[in-house]
Structure formats: structure tokens, C-alpha cells
Amino acid sequence: MSARRPDPALYAGDLFGEFYQAEHDSAPKPFVWRELVRGVATSVIVALAALWLAQQYGFPAILAGLLLGLALQFLSELPSLGPGLDFVSKHFLRAGIVLLGLQVSLVQIVDLGAAAFLGLLAIMAAAFGAGLLGAKLTGQSRYSGILAGGATAICGASAALALYAIVGKDRLDQARFTLTLVGITLASALALATYPAIAAALGLSDVQAGYLVGSSIHDVAQAIGGGYAVSDLAGGHATVIKLARVALLAPIVALVAIWIGQPGEGATDGAASGGARNWTGLAMPWFIIGFLMLVAFGSLVPIPDAVATRGLEVSKFLLLLAVTATALRSRLSLLLEAGWKPLAPVFAATLASFAASLAVTVLVIR
């Protein structure tokens, strides 16, 4: 008698093929590099196509990668592509997050000043809380709110990917995660198109405009670009503010891990965790430790601008590859079933972030 097959919906969250492997393999197979080649090559080709489209038509590469991956998700039905797509989704993501540490130093945070930094913390808290509230009001789990609020508060898609590594696919299926990524990239693109114009219409100074843009736009490149769209001075301030948010990626991910536990410790999607937390067994993910090490290194040893710039380019491409592979592994039928509700926490967090940023800018920044 054959074993009962799990609910097909579970496979939406089977990003790394664990359900499939548990069902089909009685013993783990040895790791073979050549099994990864086709999936990795497919991810690279789709990501390069996304970059070309982004350059030609002027919209975010992450969004292009998501849309192309979703359009080509039927390719993931080929068994030969699965291992490589899983590898890219998991390992390229972590490497990209580590390299973000080259962009940040503790000196940049200190230079903000106490008032500006405390204001930034208040803005991030407002975004995070709005994400949780938006998820609750629309019947989504708190994990959807954590992803939406955390990504909006920190650095967009890269933060969502880092937080999803903590949340885990057993607590939030991949369909809802993919929709969250789509919402984050759309909201960030909309912010880039409108926030600099709003700052100009309100008559904000260059310093205030840089703070507003840097503290409210999700994506790193778009936040910096939005600042320079106002002026060079505003661009410089937006860069410092945005990188200060990126520097808080590690502590926020660590706090979320303490709150909800590592994947497998908490309850399933939408349920509260039960029992006492095993604090001694809670370890910070290695990629967050790597991120912190690069931040510490950059704080002690000045990193040449050329190295930091190239590191950011490599990091963005690795994250694009991870997002593309994730989209390729998604199931459009489950995305359509999820509907618009997974997007609600993203836009709630986005609106709260902008409102709080504007308030802090007007009341605190001079």
C-alpha cells in the first residue's frame, strides 16, 4: 500500500525540495555538482534577460526577474532543473546578503546624530507594526506581516528574503511569499516615482528631502537614486540614511528569530507558538553573522569605493538570481488562489513608513 500523498498546497512552500525528497527517497542521495548546472544556468539566463529589460525600459530589475520567473514557471516542472533552482534560491540569496555588509559602517550610523537615528527607529517600527496590523485585518498570518513590515522597514526584497529564511516555508507558503515580493518591488518603484516629487512640492530642504527619501523607499538603489533625483546633497543624505537602515538588518533578523523561533520551532502558519522558547538552542543564521563581520571590518578598515561599488553590483545580481529562481519555482494557480490579500500588509507598511518619515522629517530634521 502506497503512502498517503501530502496536500498539493504544501508543495507551494517546498522551495528546497524537502517534501519531494522525503516522499520519493528512502535515503539521501550524495551531492552531485553536475545536477545543479541546468537549474543554475536557467536562473542566470532569466536574470540576464531581466537585467536587459530593466535597462531598456527603466523599471526595477528585481521586478523584471519576478515577472519573467513567474511567466516561465512551467520550466520548473522539468526534474533536471529542480536541484539547481533550489541551490540558487538558497545559497545565492545568503551570499548576496553577506555582501551587503560592504556598504555599511558604524561611522555612518554615528554621523546621523541621536535625533535622526531615533526618528529612523520610529519610522521602522511604524512600518513593521503596520505590516502586522495589515496582515491581521485581512486575515493573513503574522508571518506575512513580519515579511511585509520588515522588508518595508529595512531594505526591500533582500530583507524579505532574509526574513523568509527565518520564517521558513513550513509557516508561510511560497505563493504568499512570492506575492509579498511582487508587492514590495511595486511599492518601491511607485515610491521612487512619487516621493522626490512630493518632497519638492512640499518645499523641503535638500537635507530634509534626503532624509524623507532615504528613510521611506524600500530598495537600496532606488532610495539612493531618489535622493540624487532631488540634488547631490539630498542624494548624499539619502545614502547615509538608507545604509543605516541596511545596517539594522542583522539585529532585526536576530530579534525576529528570537520572537518566532527558528524554522520548525514555531507553530504552523497562522498559529501561535506553544511552549517555552529554547533560548540556548537559538543560533543566528550564518549569513547574518557574515553580514555583521563585513560591517565590523568596514568600520575598522576603510573599504575602497571601487570595492564597495563592485560588491554592491555582485550582491544585487546574486539577489536577483535568488528572486528569479524563487519565481520559477512558484505555482501560478496558487498565486491566483491567494488573491490580493497578501499585498495588503505591504501597502499598509508602505503608507505607514511614508507618513512616519514625513512627520519625522518635518518635526526633527533641519
| Mean pLDDT lowest among 16-30, 226-240, 322-336, 350-364 | 16-30
Question: Cell numbers at residue 320, please?
Answer: 536577483
Q: Cβ distance 211 to 204 under 8 Å?
A: no
Residue in this structure with the C-alpha cell 545543479, named with its chain if needed = 36
Q: Cβ distance 204 to 364 under 8 Å?
A: no
What does the pLDDT read at residue 29?
A: 52
68 residue type, one letter: L
pLDDT band of residue 319 (cuts 50, 70, 90) is confident
Alpha helices in the chain, H assignment, sequence order: 18-24, 37-57, 61-71, 82-87, 93-99, 106-112, 114-137, 142-153, 157-167, 174-201, 206-216, 220-230, 232-247, 249-260, 286-300, 305-328, 332-338, 344-363
Q: Is the pLDDT of residue 336 over 80?
A: no
Q: Specify the DSSP class assigned to residue 138.
A: T
Distance of CA 174 to the CA centre of its chain: 14
Residue in this structure with the C-alpha cell 544585487, named with its chain if needed = 316
Q: Which of the two residues, 353 and 159, has the higher pLDDT score? A: 353
Return d(Cα 186, Cα 108) in angstroms, integer.
Answer: 29
Residue in this structure with the C-alpha cell 518635518, named with its chain if needed = 362
What does the pLDDT read at residue 37?
A: 85
DSSP string for residues in 54-76 = HHHHTS-HHHHHHHHHHHTGGGG
Residue-wise pLDDT tens digits, 235-294: 878 878 888 888 888 889 888 888 887 655 444 444 444 444 444 444 556 777 888 888
Return d(Cα 198, Cα 283) in angstroms, integer.
Answer: 43
pLDDT band of residue 2 (cuts 50, 70, 90) is very low
| Mean pLDDT lowest among 57-71, 162-176, 256-270, 286-300 | 256-270
Residues 6+ apart with CB under 8 A from 77: none
Residue in this structure with the C-alpha cell 500588509, named with its chain if needed = 345
The residue ranges of every structural domain in the chain are 13-22+35-67+83-266+282-363
Question: Cell numbers at residue 282, please?
Answer: 537559538
**Cβ atoms within 10 Å, residue 232:** 10
Q: Which of the two residues, 86 and 24, has the higher pLDDT score? A: 86
Share of the chain above pLDDT 90, in %: 19
What does the pLDDT read at residue 287?
A: 74
Q: Could you tell me which of 338, 335, 322, 349 has the C-alpha nearest to residue 148? A: 349
Residues 6+ apart with CB under 8 A from 114: none
pLDDT band of residue 202 (cuts 50, 70, 90) is very high
Q: Is the pLDDT of residue 227 over 90?
A: no
Return d(Cα 93, Cα 157) in angstroms, integer.
Answer: 11
What does the pLDDT read at residue 212?
A: 94
What does the pLDDT read at residue 110?
A: 77
What does the pLDDT read at residue 337?
A: 60
Return d(Cα 218, Cα 120) in angstroms, integer.
Answer: 13
Q: Cβ distance 284 to 257 under 8 Å?
A: yes
Question: Cell numbers at residue 226, please?
Answer: 531618489
Return d(Cα 162, Cα 268) in angstroms, integer.
Answer: 19
What does the pLDDT read at residue 150?
A: 92
Q: Which of the two residues, 353 and 161, has the higher pLDDT score? A: 353
What does the pLDDT read at residue 71?
A: 83
pLDDT band of residue 332 (cuts 50, 70, 90) is low
Return d(Cα 319, Cα 263) in angstroms, integer.
Answer: 21
Return d(Cα 203, Cα 38) in angstroms, integer.
Answer: 53
DSSP helix/strand/coil, 25? coil
Share of the chain above pLDDT 70, in %: 81
Q: Is the pLDDT of residue 31 over 80?
A: no
Return d(Cα 297, Cα 112) in angstroms, integer.
Answer: 20
pTM: 0.69
Residue-wise pLDDT tens digits, 90-132: 788 778 878 877 877 777 777 778 888 899 999 999 999 999 9
